Amino acid sequence: MANPGSEPLRAAITAVAMYVPERVLTNAELARKLDTSDEWIVTRTGIRERRIGGPGETTSTMGTEAVRRLMSQRGLRPDDIDALIVATVTPDMLFPATACLIQDQLGLTQAWGFDLSAACSGFLYALTTGAQLVATGAHRRVVVVGADLMSSIIDPLDRTTAVLFGDGAGAVLLEAAESGYGIMDFHHRVDGSGRNDLLMPAGGSLLPPSTATVAARQHFLKQNGKVVFKFAVSQMVGSVQVLLARHGLTAADIALVVPHQANQRILDAVGQRLGLPSERVASVLACYGNTTGATLPLALDGALTAGKIKRGDLVVFAAVGAGFTAGATLVRWA
Ligand SMILES: CC(C)(COP(=O)(O)OP(=O)(O)OC[C@H]1O[C@@H](n2cnc3c(N)ncnc32)[C@H](O)[C@@H]1OP(=O)(O)O)[C@@H](O)C(=O)NCCC(=O)NCCS
């Protein structure tokens, strides 16, 4: 311990930016192609529309635009960024990492970086990882990106998943926090027993691409929705409760929960179990659907724009994703 008795150095989120493609895909449009309806989608998920990448748009182009906006908000030059972590399950390609592509597109000459794969918990895990780089004093400015072009791995013929997902990107800047502010704590866990409940079966070393895997539609996301739903509610609530207990807090102390955006019924159940009214559970699901790595920064950006977070507020992020992965992070907003 470098400075016994004093507060540990923490990282704070000092800027937030987002990018979503222009093209809006409405429930009505989906209902013209699939055996579904606006009424089913809205009542079962809360989603009304989602964004879909246009020609030439990829995870790296969306992530690049989000980081460009982040830097311009703060007047940062490309050589001001020390590291870049990209949470994604839809990298432009398996390698090189999307972080390298964003670094190159923005000319971040002093940055190193990497991709982090934890599905819908990816942004939270990347936030925790980036925060350690700042908290140790190793770096001054770390950019964390959550970006996914889910339309590239969604089966357009599968109504059980095609209605849920969308494309987008968000980015946050991490810098040293003033004493008493910033990212206070996290609780994360993985449970690989859920590996068959949410996955893209082929394209990796287990099932390399072949005409058979393409014919069997194994390069698309597959999901056991009911199992994932139950896990999502119990794990997000449980993770938040661990942090509250560890810090002697109750839900009444929390200004806002920013949960992974998968289904409004999941968010409602999380709010109810924590005893929080719906206005204290951030939701942008209606506009964007589930954008996987991007949902937390999109929801955070929405909450900030709506004036739901002010300096000194306690904010809790909660996430759950394929793997399974899960966790929560406690922040005193700076
Ligand atoms: C996927 C999900 C919306 C399905 O909702 P649900 O209430 O569990 O619905 P069910 O799967 O029980 O399906 C009910 C019926 O609706 C049908 N259905 C499924 N998708 C439909 C659609 N888009 N339109 C119309 N009907 C649909 C089913 O086929 C089923 O019909 P059946 O009773 O004749 O078999 C829900 O389970 C969910 O959100 N799960 C979690 C997803 C998630 O969080 N994923 C990401 C985590 S990171």
The pLDDT tens digits for 15-39 are: 999 999 999 999 999 999 999 999 9
Q: Could you give the strand order of the β-sheet that contains 11-19, starting from the edge strand earlier in sequence?
A: 11-19, 167-176, 142-149, 83-87, 112-116
In the predicted structure, residue 7 carries a pLDDT above the cut 90: no
String of DSSP letters for 208-249: ---HHHHHTTTTS-EE-HHHHHHHHHHHHHHHHHHHHHHTT-
Q: Whose CA is nearest to atom 46 of ligand 1?
A: 262
Q: Whose CA is nearest to atom 29 of ligand 1?
A: 160
Which residues have C-beta within 8 Å of that of residue 284, sequence separation ≥ 6? 261, 295, 298, 299, 302
Q: What is the mean pLDDT of residues 63-85?
A: 98
Residue 6 is predicted with a pLDDT of 67
Which atom of ligand 1 approaches the CA of 290 most closely? 46
Length of the chain: 334
Task: Please write the tens of the pLDDT for every residue from 110-160.
Answer: 999 999 999 999 999 999 999 999 999 999 999 999 999 999 999 999 999
Q: What is the mean pLDDT of residues 274-295?
A: 98
pTM for the model: 0.96
Count other Cβ atoms within 10 Å, centred on residue 214.
Answer: 13
Q: Is 320 helix (H, G, I), strand (E, B) or coil?
A: strand
If pLDDT is split at 50, 70 and 90, which confidence band does 8 have?
A: confident
In the predicted structure, residue 82 carries a pLDDT above the cut 80: yes
Q: Is 282 helix (H, G, I), strand (E, B) or coil?
A: coil
In the predicted structure, residue 64 carries a pLDDT above the cut 50: yes
Quote the ligand 1 centre to 163 CA distance (angstroms).
10
Q: What is the mean pLDDT of residues 291-298?
A: 98
The CA-based angle 172-251-309, given to 5 degrees, is: 35
Q: What residues act catalytically?
A: 120, 260, 290
Write the burial class of residue 68 (CB in 10 Å: 0-12 exposed, 13-18 middle, 19+ buried). middle
Residue 5 is predicted with a pLDDT of 53
In the predicted structure, residue 161 carries a pLDDT above the cut 90: yes
Q: Is 275 helix (H, G, I), strand (E, B) or coil?
A: coil
The answer to whether the beta carbons of residues 259 and 270 sit under 8 Å apart is: yes
Q: Whose CA is nearest to atom 30 of ligand 1?
A: 160
If pLDDT is split at 50, 70 and 90, which confidence band does 168 have?
A: very high
In the predicted structure, residue 3 carries a pLDDT above the cut 60: no
Mean pLDDT value across the chain: 97
Task: Please write the tens of the pLDDT for every residue from 183-230.
Answer: 999 999 999 999 999 999 999 999 999 999 999 999 999 999 999 999
Locus of tokens 């009424």: 39
The set of protein residues with a Cβ atom below 6 angstroms from ligand 1 is: 36, 40-41, 44-45, 120, 159-160, 163, 223, 225-226, 228-229, 232, 262-263, 266, 290, 320-321
Phi/psi at 269 (5° precision): -65, -40
